[in-house]
Amino acid sequence: MTTFKIDNILEVSKICIGADHFGTSVDNKTASRILDEYVERGGSFIDTANVYGKWVRGAGNASEKFLGEWLKSSKKQVVIATKGAHYNFDTPTLMRLDKKDIRADLEESLTALKRECIDFYWLHRDDISKPIGEILETMESFRREGKILLYGASNFTGERLYEAEKYAREHNIRGFSAVSNQHSAATVNRGFNTNPDTSLVIHGADEERFHKETGTPLIPYQSTARGYFAKTATGVSVSPELVKAYDNEETRKTYKEILALAERESCSVQAASLIYLTKAPYPVLPITSVKKIEHLPELFEAMDRI
């Protein structure tokens, strides 16, 4: 598997493994084995967030804490991307992009991960009431402090991304080095996304144009549409939720293209759904979660072909 350098600084594998369920629904022993095998096969990019695990009472930021212990014991050389500035679950309409809120999340992540500097730091949500320049300058201040190396935008619209790119260029700062929005080969039916959170941003026409014009890497979450194509191909019962979300003419057309790609590459449909995304005319490094050891071969199929 070839690698990619984000901003010519961070060299990462072209498929990022998501650690969102590590430390909660995926026990530590299984999570450790998944990561060990991922790294042995050339993987080097792990995605987590300060909020992962906080939906489980008493778990705290379980994913980061697990990764901190795994990094300490395994001594693996990997790139860790984590996220902050997510809203509090009890006040979902109140965004948290004040400097003090971001700093609190950042410091909590540094402690949990047992690191002095975060390789890549995502802002998990936007706050459109704040000028984009204020947000970027806040992130630049953390970068100058040595708390983060690079930073990016998760769930930011194309309009805001263009504003950020313009501000960074005019003020000679680095700005967002990558974007993480929801994106897969499946087209989402309006109003039926599998996650009803309206603060999520689904990659659409405006975002596509931004990436094409700027070449900014897209590091998408839900990159396999929760296994929709693989479940359809193997005859596994597809939940009504997934059917409502993805069953449409555009997705059916893409499904045929993925089946053809799987045949050409002699790989599983799950692997092909990841490979398909990387054929875009700009860098795409999909994030995919693995919850079971038996799902690793499909991940490795994709890694070996990208």
Q: What is the pLDDT of residues 28-39, one digit of tens each?
A: 999 999 999 999
pLDDT band at 283 (very low <50, low <70, confident <90, very high): very high
Which domain, by its residues, includes 91? 3-305
Report which secondary-structure segment, H or E, holds 82: strand 79-84
Report the C-alpha gap between 253 and 271 in whole angstroms: 18
Decide if 194 contacts 261 (C-beta within 8 A).
Answer: no
CATH number, domain containing residue 224: 3.20.20.100
Q: What's the pLDDT at 90?
A: 87
- Averaged pLDDT for residues 283-300: 97
pLDDT band at 271 (very low <50, low <70, confident <90, very high): very high
Question: Which regions of 124-234 does DSSP assign to beta strands (E)?
Answer: 148-154, 179-180
Nearest to 3 by CA among 298, 296, 283: 283
Please check the confidence at residue 105 and state whether its pLDDT lies above 90.
Answer: yes
Please check the confidence at residue 59 and state whether its pLDDT lies above 80.
Answer: no
Strand 10-13 to 3-6 pairing: antiparallel
Decide if 157 contacts 207 (C-beta within 8 A).
Answer: yes
**Tokens standing for residue 99:** 């400097």
Q: What's the pLDDT at 57?
A: 65
- The number of residues making up the chain comes to 306
Q: State pTM to two decimals.
A: 0.96
Report the C-alpha gap between 260 and 281 in whole angstroms: 20
Please check the confidence at residue 2 and state whether its pLDDT lies above 90.
Answer: no
Please check the confidence at residue 61 and state whether its pLDDT lies above 70.
Answer: yes
Average pLDDT along the chain: 96
What is the amino acid identity at position 177? S
**pLDDT tens per residue, range 136-189:** 999 999 999 999 999 999 999 999 999 999 999 999 999 999 999 999 999 999
Alpha-carbon distance values, 72 to 21, 32, 60 (Å): 19, 12, 19
The larger pLDDT score, comparing residue 94 to residue 125, is at 125
Report the C-alpha gap between 40 and 74 in whole angstroms: 12
- For helices 296-305 and 28-40, angle between their N-to-C axes, nearest 10 degrees: 20
Contacts of 252 (CB under 8 A, 6+ apart): none
- Averaged pLDDT for residues 2-10: 96
Q: What's the pLDDT at 78?
A: 97
Total structural domains within the chain? 1
Nearest to 83 by CA among 124, 111, 114, 120: 124
In a 3-state reduction of DSSP, which class is residue 30? helix
Please check the confidence at residue 68 and state whether its pLDDT lies above 80.
Answer: yes
Please check the confidence at residue 227 and state whether its pLDDT lies above 90.
Answer: yes
Please check the confidence at residue 17 and state whether its pLDDT lies above 70.
Answer: yes
**Tokens standing for residue 300:** 């490795």
Q: What's the pLDDT at 236?
A: 82
Report the C-alpha gap between 63 and 86 in whole angstroms: 15
- Averaged pLDDT for residues 225-253: 95
DSSP state of 182: B
